A = this chain, B = another copy of it.
Amino acid sequence: MFNLTFVDLIDYLGTFAFAISGLRLASEKQFDLFGAFIVGLATAVGGGTMRDVMIGVSPFWMTQWIYLFIVLLAVLAFLFLHKFISEISQTIFLFDTIGLGLFTIVGIQKTYDAGFPLYTCIIMGVCTGAAGGVIRDILINEVPLIFRRDIYAIACLVGGLFYTAAIRYGAPAIIAQSGCAMGVILIRLFSVKYHWQLPLLHAYRFNRFNAQKMHTGH
């Protein structure tokens, strides 16, 4: 019926997992159904939307209804199958991680095809994977989680560096894609398992008077 490829399946499962992560936080914040849907949607498609706007193309979900539909399914699953969703949370984490690998690749490739330099492709790959979570955290009025803990965007960055190097040196697509996905997935899995964290920006013993003068308006 559908012409569903393996890549499509990862895409949709990843989108579903991203939406579920947004819905969990919306639920904790006592959001109503509409708010929860928007938060799930922002998490699921926000990164790709930001990327598409910046590379100058139509946001992808605006011409493919499946993504909105998946977020709707996520809301329904959260409402009516939440015990089940809770039981398969490890699986959802896996969808989330594999999806992240795919979204990074898609973001880089789409930016490359739009004619941008490789360094921009890497940034757009990270954006596609990570910016949805930032938008979600802004909507729920929290400091974005990825800025304070966990190796999340860094996984996309490392995978992205591999992918763009592969493009640059003409490696076959299959090597570029597998290497990138593998990098993103392994870094995420290890960083969660072993609680890796980035160092903080060093607490700055700063002349308070100057800091306040500098901070005025900026």
Q: How many copies does the complex hold?
A: 3
User: In the complex, A146→B123 CA distance in Å?
Assistant: 28
Contact between B217 and A150 (Cβ–Cβ < 8 Å)? Answer: yes
Known: A32-B147, A149-B32. A216 touches B201 (CB 8 A): no
Judge if A3 is at the interface, Cβ distance under 8 Å: no
Contacts of A200 in B (CB 8 A): 27, 30-33
* B35, B93, B96, B100: the one within 8 Å of A147 (CB): B35
Q: A159-218: which have CB < 8 Å to B?
A: 191-192, 197-207, 210-211, 213-218
Contact between A198 and B34 (Cβ–Cβ < 8 Å)? Answer: yes
Contact between A134 and B143 (Cβ–Cβ < 8 Å)? Answer: no
Shortest A56–chain B CB gap in Å is: 6
User: In the complex, A77→B161 CA distance in Å?
Assistant: 24
Contact between A24 and B117 (Cβ–Cβ < 8 Å)? Answer: no
Interface residues in chain A, defined as those with a beta carbon under 8 Å from any beta carbon in chain B: 18, 21, 23-36, 38-39, 43, 49, 53-56, 58-59, 62-63, 65, 68, 75, 78-79, 82, 86, 89-90, 92-93, 96, 100, 116-117, 119-120, 123, 130, 133-134, 138-154, 191-192, 197-207, 210-211, 213-218
Beyond contacts A82-B206, A145-B217: 9 other A-B pairs, Cβ-Cβ < 8 A, are: A21-B218, A24-B206, A32-B147, A35-B147, A78-B201, A79-B202, A86-B204, A146-B218, A152-B217
**What are some 30 contacts across the A-B interface (CB < 8 A)?**
A24-B204, A24-B211, A25-B215, A26-B147, A27-B200, A27-B203, A29-B143, A30-B200, A32-B200, A33-B198, A34-B154, A35-B201, A55-B62, A62-B117, A62-B123, A63-B116, A63-B117, A63-B120, A65-B119, A78-B204, A82-B205, A86-B206, A86-B210, A89-B210, A89-B211, A96-B214, A133-B218, A134-B139, A141-B141, A192-B213
